[in-house]
Structures are given as C-alpha cells and as structure tokens.
Amino acid sequence: MLSTVLAILAVLAFIALVPPVRRAVFSNPVLAIYRRILPDMSQTEKEAIDAGTVWWDGDLFSGAPDWDKLLATPQARLTADEQAFLDGPVEDLCAMTDDWEVTHERYDLPPAVWQFIKDKGFLGMIIPKRYGGLGFSALAHSAVVMKLATRSNAASVTVMVPNSLGPAELLLHYGTEEQKDHYLPRLAKGLEVPCFALTSPEAGSDAASIPDFGVVCKGMWQGKETLGMRVTWDKRYITLGPVATLLGLAFRLYDPEKLIGDKEDLGITCALVPTNTPGVNIGRRHLPLNAVFQNGPNSGKDVFMPLEWIIGGREYAGKGWMMLMNCLAAGRAISLPTSSVGGVKAMARYTGAYARVRSQFKMPIGKLEGVEEALGRIAANAYLMDAARVMTAGAVDAGEKPSVVSAIMKLHMTERIRKVVDDAMDIHGGKGICLGPNNWIGRGYQAIPVAITVEGANILTRSLIVFGQGAIRCHPYVLREMLAAKNEDRAAAALEFDAAISGHVVHTAKNGLRAFLHGLTGSAFAAAPELAAPEMRGYYKDLTRISAAFALIADVSMLVLGGSLKRKEKLSARLGDVLSMLYLGSATLKRFEDTGRPAEDLPLVHFSMQDVLYQAQQALDGVIANFPNRPVALLLRAALFPLGKRFRAPSDHLNQLCAQYLLAPSAGRDRLTEGMYLSKSEADPTGQLEAAFLATIACEPIEKKLREAVKNGLVVRRMQEDFSVLARDKGIITAEELALWQRKETLRKGVIKVDDFPQDFGRAEIAAKLEGAKPAIARAA
C-alpha cells in the first residue's frame, strides 16, 4: 500500500516539476477548456479592468497581506499652504454660507459665494500652480471637500465636481499642450465653469452603451471648410451643467467615410465644447431631492465642432472610455467618500451635543440606552470612515489610481453615512423632521440617496464591480491566465498559461492550508507586524485569517462557477463585502498607529475592528450558505470554519464607551471630528448648539442643587415661573450660578426650538427679498 502511494506521489511530482510534461498532461488541456469557457470581453470591459493600479487591495487578495509594508507607508500630511487654505478661505466660505438661504430661498448659492469660490481658486485645486491653480494634494482636496460638506451640501458639491472627474482632470492627463495652455488657466481662475456630460436617458449605470454619437465630416467653421464632426446627444443629471461655460462631452464617434483612419466605429470619444456653441441646449435644472447644487440636462443635434475639440486631439478619438476609467479610478476615491465623511463628522458632533442638551424623563436623552446604542454606532463609523479617507487619499498622493479601492470607498462611505443619518434622525426626532433654518440634519437626510446613486449606483457597484473587477485586477494570477488564453501565438500562450496556472494552483493550495489552520488555531499563528501595538496584534492576525479564507473561496468560486459567477450577483456582492471589510479594517489599524496609539481611541478601534471582522465572517457564511454546488459548500465550511463562527458583533458595553465620546467635551471628541467647520457664533444654529452643549455640562452641578431643592420642598416649581430665581433668593444657588443657569436655559430653548412658518412658508417675503437684491446683483455683475 505504501509503495503504491509513494509511486503515485512520484508520478505527480514528475508531472509537476518537469515543465514539458506538466504542459502536456495538465496546463495545455486546461488552457483548451479555459479558452472555451472564457467569456468574450468587450473593449470597454477590458479598458475598465485595465484602468488604474493595484495597491493594498492586491495584498488583501493574496491571502497573505504584508502588514509591515502597509505600516511603513508614511502618513499623508497637509502642507503649510494647504492648511492655511483650510484655515482661511475654506473657513470663510463656510461662514458666509447659510444653508437654509441656499436650499429654501435661493435654490442656489448666493452670487457672492459663487464669486468667492471662483476668486479663491476653489475650482482649480487639482490644477498645477504653473497653470494658475492651487496644485493641492489629494489629501488637501479631500480635506477641503470634507469641511465644506459639514456646512453646505451645495457648496461641497460645487467645489468637488470640477476637481474630480471632469475637464481639468482629463486635460491634465490627456490634453494637448495647446488645450492645456488655453483652458487650464481659465479653469483655475474660475473664468470657465466646467461640467462633464456622460449619463444619457438610455445609459445610466451602463454608461459604456451611450447612444450619443458624432460623425466625422467636413463643415464650415469660422468661415473655412474644416474637418470636424457633427455630434448629437441627450444628457441628464449633469452637475454644474446649468451654469457651465465649458461642457465636457462623451459620445461614440463614427467615421463612415474613413476621413481620419481605416475604422468606421472609432469608439467613445471625449470633447470640450464651449456652451455658447450654436446648437448646444443647456441651462435647465433638475432638483435632486432638494439638494440645490446646479444639476440638469443638456442636448444638441448635429452640432458641428472641429476635431481639435477632442481632448488630446484627433489621436485620442475613440479612447474616451479608457480616459474616463483611468481618471475615475482616482477621482471616485476622493469626492463622494470625502463628502460622506464630512457629513458623518457633523452628525457625530451635532447629534452627541443634542443628545446631551435635550432631556426627557429627567435625564439627557443620550443616557437612554436606545439612544446610546445609536450614538455608539455613529462614533465608531466616524472613526473608521475617516481612517479610510486619509489612507486612500495618501495612496492617490503616492501615485496610485486604485480602481477597486475607489469602488469600495464610494460604496461603503455612502452606505455608512446613510446608516449614520438614519441613527441621527432617530435621535433628533421631531427636531429633525421639521425643516427650517434651525434644522441642521434635515437637508442632509434628504440628499443621501443622491450620493448613493451617482458615480455608479451602489446596488450595482456592490454586486458587479468590487469583486467582479477585483477578481481579475487584484488576483495575482487570473489576469495573466486570461491574457495568455487570448494570446494568438499558441506557443507563447502555452508557456504563459503554464506559468500562471501552476502558480495559481500553488497559491490556492497554500491559502486553503492557511485558512484551515488559522480557523483551527483561532489565528494564533497568523502573521502580524512586529511593530504593531500589542493590543492590536490579534486583529492583524484575524484579518490575515479572513484574507486567506477570502482568497480560497474566491478561487473556488471562479473554478466551480466559471463564467456564470458574473451572473451570480448576490454571491459576487458578498465576496466583495469580504474584500471591503478587509480594506476598512486595514485602514482602521493604520490610523491607530499613525495617530500615535491614543489610549482614548481604543473603544472606537475595538468596535470598528470587531464590526468589520463580524461582517466579513457573515459575508463568507452567506457565500457558503448559498453556494450552488452543495458538496463544495460543505468542504468550504469545513475549511473556513472548522470550529464554527467565532467572531461576534461588538458588545453593548463597548457600544456604550463609544457613545460617551460624543456626550462630553474631550480631546478624543475633537480628534474624531477634526477638520469640520465649527461656527463661533451663537446666532448660528450649530454655534448655538455647541454653546448649549458646553453650558449644559457646566450647569450640571447647579441642576443637581435645584433638583434637590425641589425634592426637599425648599423651592416649588410652577408653570411659567423661573424657579431658579427663587432658588437664588433662598440662597440655594449664587447670583453667578443663576446667571450661568439662565444663559444655559436660553441656549437650550433655542436648540430644542422647531421652526414654523406662515401659510405660504414665507414665499412672498422671499420673493420680495430676492427682487430687492436684483439691482445690487446687476451692479456687481
């Protein structure tokens, strides 16, 4: 028996170790099967997969992440100029923006705010200084948008969009020198307001199928016959479109007469079109859930434009999708995720303050366990989300264009703010649902679905993109196998595929063994960085275990399901969830190290890590429970959870510790909400809230005296009577304490006040106000 086993092992070793034999017996037959089952990939799909770079996501996909490499990555920091901009113009812009005026009275930013944005260079943050821009880093871009998002959604989006995917970004990477020299200085100075038009009524999330088209032809331009194109388009949801002077336009370009090459269908093309061009229809607005940033449709029919308007010139005709995917890989990682982090920071600070100021049942509502539970979630989300924001911006500044990470960030930052705002609204109750100048949560609550929907709807990002793109882009072998299978040189393909598939088999076997042993030993022997904080080492080990489990189940899913995995969107979504939790957990641990391991932050770190590990475990369990091949599912469960599921959701006690962060002033609270706008005026609703929060805490000893006096019958509390004056008169509190108490009461009543309006909600008064402002606006113009 032993001799038979040894003989079999010897044969297998001979096959594995002798390449010609291995190719003949194993890799060539597999290659033939692979070619038959490999689904065709369109050019746009290929360009989407090729876009961007692989960064830490590649480590997480490997099953053995190099934690020392991650921790050795320097923490991203702002320059002195960037910090000065945040402390100066950004602070000023926040102070001059009244969100109720913007969203209810004007449905737009006031003219003075628009001019300030242009004059101070907000529209040109990513444009290098040599073109007149600010030349800011991705971290600074992120910090500016985040701070604005804590004050005004309209201001944040107005600044965010020109610095994300749009004309400036495309020009910087692909524009001709002539295009750069002409447009970039004008964009930097605010002389041009840009927008980019991609989405069409018939092509939303499936943007690559846009029906808008252009035809290469000759036509008259400025009195001369010119080689150009006639373009027809119908776009919608275009942010800044109604006020744009420069329209970035995506369309499919055709050359039926082959005037510029030998192809008729050149592909998706991007052009820059001045909006005053004859035939451009632009200016009307959408109203996306009362988020009043400028957004609307535009269209044109047979609009003639020179070929020189193509971004990059005629050489870039048909390369538009590649350009868009590469730029989106970085831009999507910053814009919407950052504004979501800003919103969460604001909700954390405001909701905690409100929960301390607002009392019911003779106690601050923040001390009610139901409210406390929601506050704890808000605090932990704020910590984790900001950790992911800073780490991702740092990667972009280091030259990465992490396409898979950008999808993770967009998906999970916008989903988490949705949960945070729901929690915050539950805590605010009636205060939150009545809109008005004293409501600091309502407009944010309304606008959340906008972020969920744009730049790739979350439901499709989760089910199609995160794992679908990651499985090909981040896996160490899959893309190599695909490229080898598509190689028309049969001999070269055989060699390339043999190297890739052999490595893949070893990779899968190692991860299977790792996952099983880590599950059996509770991650005791998993990798963890030597320099990590001792209290965090267990989390590194657990993430390593999850990484190995994810790598194994991803490989098994691709092997067993093949091309059909693309259609198993629920399984793909859960696999993407595991990868996402690995990334968010990595960011959380790195933040703790980068910020000097503050002990005060430990509850937030523990809550965040326990939550991501639990969510990753549940996603893995969901894949196994729904895996179509049940025998394989049973083997996967035995390999990944040999002793059952051991990760648990964060405890109530840990949740309570996180909630306490938001209910009292502390360095930890300030660190958690660092970078947000804090009004210094008590006339401002949020400034009043912060003042009431501090005054309430300062007056708690006075309140204790007053309660005891009432309880002991020393003071009788009657309706409409200031019993604190009686307490002063009887010597229970001092005159100074009375003054503190009365100030606190004035602030408290202002905070809990709910807005009310005349029957027309003040529309007549608003109309008169705006009519009176017209002459001043005309003079300024």
- Amino acid at position 419, single letter: K
Six-digit token string for 336? 């919407």
- The DSSP code sequence of 447-467 is HHHHHHHSSS-HHHIIIIIHH
Cα 307 to the center of its chain, rounded Å: 36
Give the integer Cα–Cα distance in Å for 657 and 667: 15
Contact present, 327 and 173 (Cβ < 8 Å): yes
Cα-Cα-Cα-Cα torsion 518, 631, 564, 488, nearest 10 degrees, comes to 80
Closest CA to 285 of 108, 161, 443: 108
Say which residues have a Cβ less than 8 Å from residue 70's Cβ, sequence separation at least 6. Answer: 56, 59, 586, 590
Closest CA to 189 of 126, 93, 119: 119
Per the residue annotation, which of 47, 105, 169, 455 is the catalytic one? Answer: 455
Question: Which residue carries 């969510």 as its tokens?
Answer: 615
For residue 689, count other CB atoms closer than 10 A to its CB: 24
The DSSP call for residue 105 is I
Q: How far is CA 213 from CA 228, 231, 265, 302, 756, in A?
A: 13, 6, 10, 9, 51
Six-digit token string for 733? 């509190």
Six-digit token string for 434? 């009545």
Cα 217 to the center of its chain, rounded Å: 42
For residue 498, count other CB atoms closer than 10 A to its CB: 20
For residue 442, count other CB atoms closer than 10 A to its CB: 21
Residue 265's DSSP bridge partners are 254
Residue burial 363-395, b: 16+ Cβ < 10 Å; e: rest = ebbbbbeebbebbbbbbbbbbbbbbbbbbbbbb
Residue 221's DSSP bridge partners are 224
Contact present, 76 and 390 (Cβ < 8 Å): yes
Give the integer Cα–Cα distance in Å for 413 and 223: 52
Give the integer Cα–Cα distance in Å for 456 and 452: 8
Active site residue 600: no
Helices 490-521, 478-486: crossing angle, 10 deg rounding:
160
Helices 153-160, 111-119: crossing angle, 10 deg rounding:
40
Report the catalytic residues.
455
